[in-house]
Structure 1
């Protein structure tokens, strides 16, 4: 306290000068219309800029919550879209899917906490496990396309086999040509895949969509796998050499949806029984 008093005493002339300057500035602003308007315009401009910075900072800190809310909303939209598509598939007018079949797919949103793209066999870790109803074999998709399939689970986490895996095949359909094939990663570029087993006599064009087919029990049909990037034909081969641009960008994967096919076990058991009887 003694030092503060000594400082004020020593700087009394400077402090008096500052107070007089502030007083003069106050009188100028309040007695002159021009300077008053200039002051308030300038102060408002700086205040608006500070508010803009403050709002931008607050919005940035809330991005995680906003992304989580959007992921939950997309989960609900995916479920509604799948029910509509499965309830009225492309079939003769006399056919009508029963409600259990139309509602067989359910979705659980999860956050990606680890993800690799640089290996021949890549995996993804998500923050949902058996306590959230996740189990091995479930499909995983992103807001833009196919991601992979659940491999291992514990109570709170799951490891997903990425489609960027040397042994992962996705039963896929070339939409425009209405042709079924298999999408497989060649281990080179994490943004590209190969589409196999498409006859060279089928028309294929750059930009054609490739989606998950109806002939798998893991993914809902119609989930985008990618779009045709290039088409070629190898000599003495009966199939196109097709390269796809992947629909999912694995380099910035944040939220995914784990897909449960509630009729998967029933379907696979029946098909296995048929195979055993052959």
Structure 2
């Protein structure tokens, strides 16, 4: 307390000068219309700038929550869209799945906490585990396309085998040509992937820009989830299959939220198929 009193005593002349300056500005502003208007306009301009900076800072701080809310909303829309596409026929003569089959897919939103793209075998870690109903073998997608498949889980986290993995395959279909093949990463550019096993056919030419989606022939992903779009089309040396390169739909360099896909009928399907295989 004594040091504070000493400070005011030592600085009394300077403090008095500041108080007199403030008093002078007060009288000038209040006795002159010109300076009053100038002060009003200037103070409002700087106050508006400070308020704009404050609002921008608050909006930036809320981006994480906004992204989380959007991911949750996308989860709900994904569920409804998948069920609608499976249950509603496109024409009167088209096959219509029953309600149980159409609603077999369930989506759980999760946040990416670790992600690699620079290795031959890449993995992704998410913040959902067995406590949230996540199990190994479930498919994982992003708002833009296929991501991978759950490899291992504990109570609170799961590790995903990324589509950027040398052993990962996903059954895929060209939308326009209707041909089905396997999408597989070649270990190179993390933005590109190969579409294999598409036989050369003059009746079904492959066009650049054609979309490639997940096919009906897998129990991990819902059908029609985007895998990528055709970047280039060539011919393999054996002259039998196309050499097709796709631009991946998912950008793994800024992956934030994903959706874990549960196929509630997967165990029943695989159990029956294994039973048939064992009887051969």
Does 2:129 match 1:119?
Answer: no
What is the CA–CA distance in structure 1 between the aligned matches of 2:10 and 2:136, rounded to whole Å?
A: 77
Q: 1:205 — aligned with what?
A: 207
**Paired residues for 1:73-112 under 5 Å:** 73-90=73-90, 93=93, 95-112=95-112
> Unmatched 5+ residue regions in structure 1?
none
With over 3 angstroms needed to count, the CA separation of the structure-2 counterparts of 1:90 and 1:194, relative to structure 1, is: farther
Q: 1:225 — aligned with what?
A: 227
Q: 1:173 — aligned with what?
A: 173
Is this contact kept in 1: 2:86–2:96, CA < 8 A?
no
1:3 deviates by: 3.8
What is the CA–CA distance in structure 2 between the aligned matches of 1:127 and 1:203, rounded to whole Å?
A: 43
Does 2:50 match 1:71?
Answer: no
Q: What SS class does the counterpart of residue 218 from structure 1 fall into?
A: coil
With over 3 angstroms needed to count, the CA separation of the structure-2 counterparts of 1:269 and 1:18, relative to structure 1, is: same
With over 3 angstroms needed to count, the CA separation of the structure-2 counterparts of 1:79 and 1:156, relative to structure 1, is: same
What is the CA–CA distance in structure 2 between the aligned matches of 1:91 and 1:270, rounded to whole Å?
A: 31
1:266 deviates by: 0.9
Q: 1:31 — aligned with what?
A: 31
More off after superposition, 94-103 vs 204-213? 94-103
What is the CA–CA distance in structure 1 between the aligned matches of 2:162 and 2:134, rounded to whole Å?
A: 16
With over 3 angstroms needed to count, the CA separation of the structure-2 counterparts of 1:162 and 1:94, relative to structure 1, is: closer
Q: 1:60 — aligned with what?
A: 60
Q: What SS class does the counterpart of residue 4 from structure 1 fall into?
A: helix
RMSD (Å), alpha carbons? 1.5
More off after superposition, 166-175 vs 30-39? 30-39
TM-score, normalised by the number of residues in structure 2: 0.95
More off after superposition, 158-167 vs 198-207? 198-207
Q: 1:237 — aligned with what?
A: 239
- Cα deviation, 1:231-277, whole Å, max 9, x if unaligned, reads 11134421111101101111111111000000111111112222222
1:4 deviates by: 3.5
More off after superposition, 145-154 vs 15-24? 15-24
Does 2:49 match 1:49?
Answer: yes
> Unmatched 5+ residue regions in structure 2?
none
1:46 deviates by: 0.8
Q: What SS class does the counterpart of residue 160 from structure 1 fall into?
A: strand
Q: What SS class does the counterpart of residue 220 from structure 1 fall into?
A: coil
1:96 deviates by: 2.4
More off after superposition, 88-97 vs 45-54? 88-97
Does 2:159 match 1:159?
Answer: yes
Q: 1:246 — aligned with what?
A: 248
Q: What SS class does the counterpart of residue 182 from structure 2 fall into?
A: strand
- Cα deviation, 1:139-172, whole Å, max 9, x if unaligned, reads 0001110000111111111111111111111100
What is the CA–CA distance in structure 1 between the aligned matches of 2:142 and 2:94, rounded to whole Å?
A: 34
- Cα deviation, 1:7-40, whole Å, max 9, x if unaligned, reads 3334333322222211111111112122111111
